[in-house]
Structure 1
Amino acid sequence: MNHSYTRASDAVGADAISTRAFLQQAVDHYPRLVAFSFTLKLPYRETMNEYRSLILRFHTEIWQRIGEYSRRRLQARHHSPPTILRWIWESVGTAKCKMMLLMNLDTLGAARDDEGAQQVISKLLCEAWLAVSEVHSGITDIMPIIVNRSDSETAMMPFNQLKTQVQSMVTPVLIARTGIICP
């Protein structure tokens, strides 16, 4: 597994144009992209840097857990192709933070079991947030959006839904990507 991860310096503020390009890169990269949109319940911290550090620790924890999940799938002789985790999230200013994780859906499971893959990532998200924040029920409103480019007739609708979710975030938003998960 490549041990690259998001560092505090890797997260950058994004305007509407760079956010659109970031989304388009993710869609272009994977034939079956999944975006998990969710809200984090943030524990109280003294400074903005502490909030930012907490969120980046969460990103690292997710990266590690998805890497472990992928390795277990491969050991069981199941398909689990590499993925890059891409993140978009609101700059922290309130007790809640909207966030989106974009990745290769096929890393999580077979094409015919999208629901099972969604349950896996929902569990990983909740466990990772609990591990770094010690907040139970700290993730709410988990909504998956699957952009399947192999179905060109219906791919545009989920992409528009993805854009709408990002546009609903309070600006400024931050974007980052982790190193490739390649077990």
Structure 2
Amino acid sequence: MNHSYTRASDAVSADAVSTRAFLQQAVDHYPRLAAFSFTLKLPYRETMSEYRSLILRFHTEVWQRTGEYSRQRQQARQSSPPTILRWMWESASAPERKILLLINLDTLGALRDGVVQQDMSRILREAWCAVIHTDNNVTSMSSFIISRSDKNAFTVPFGRLKAGMDNMVPPVITARTGVICP
């Protein structure tokens, strides 16, 4: 696994044009993209930098756990190609933050079997619990598959993903968390 992670300097405040470009890069990079949308309930902190630190620690936890998931798939002789975790999140001061994670679906397996969604949900919940030491603070979990090879699996999910992205409270921050390469 490549030992890269999101640094505070890697996260960029984005406007509507750059968030759409960020999404388009992810779609262009992976023919089958999985998108996980969820809300994190944040514990009280004094400063915005403390909130940002929590989010970046969460990214690192998810990156490590997804890397382990990928290694386990490869040990079981299942395909798990490299991926980059792409993140978008609301940075407004609020007790809850909407977050979007974009990842290569082929790294995880077939989302249609339901196991992948459960596994990613578990990874996200466990990662947040490791950061804040409290359960039940990941809510409103939904997922989308955006497949460029199938028009029916592209247009509607991509439209829903864009709509969800447009509903995020600005400013929105984007970041990429290193390559997972078992």
- TM-score, normalisation: structure 2: 0.97
Separation of aligned partners in 2, 1:81 and 1:160: 26
Unaligned runs of 5+ in 1: none
Separation of aligned partners in 1, 2:81 and 2:43: 35
- Measured at CA, do residues 111 and 175 of structure 1 come closer, stay the same or move farther in structure 2, by a change above 3 Å? closer
Separation of aligned partners in 2, 1:85 and 1:54: 17
Separation of aligned partners in 1, 2:138 and 2:112: 26
Superposed, which structure 2 residues align to 1:53-68 within 5 Å?
Answer: 53-68=53-68
Separation of aligned partners in 1, 2:179 and 2:6: 11
Render the CA deviation track for 1:51-103: whole Å, top value 9, x for unaligned. 00000000000000000110111111111111100000000411000000000
| Structure 2 counterpart SS, 1:64 | helix
Unaligned runs of 5+ in 2: none
Superposed, which structure 2 residues align to 1:26-175 within 5 Å?
Answer: 26-110=26-110, 113=113, 115-175=114-174
Asked if the contact 1:52/1:92 (under 8 Å) is kept, the reply is no
| RMSD of equivalent CA atoms | 1.1
Q: How big is the shift at 1:158?
A: 0.8
| Structure 2 counterpart SS, 1:130 | helix
| Structure 1 counterpart SS, 2:151 | coil
Q: Which residue of 2 aligns with 1:178?
A: 177
- Measured at CA, do residues 176 and 133 of structure 1 come closer, stay the same or move farther in structure 2, by a change above 3 Å? same
How many residues are matched? 182
- TM-score, normalisation: structure 1: 0.96
Separation of aligned partners in 1, 2:50 and 2:111: 39
Separation of aligned partners in 2, 1:58 and 1:92: 17
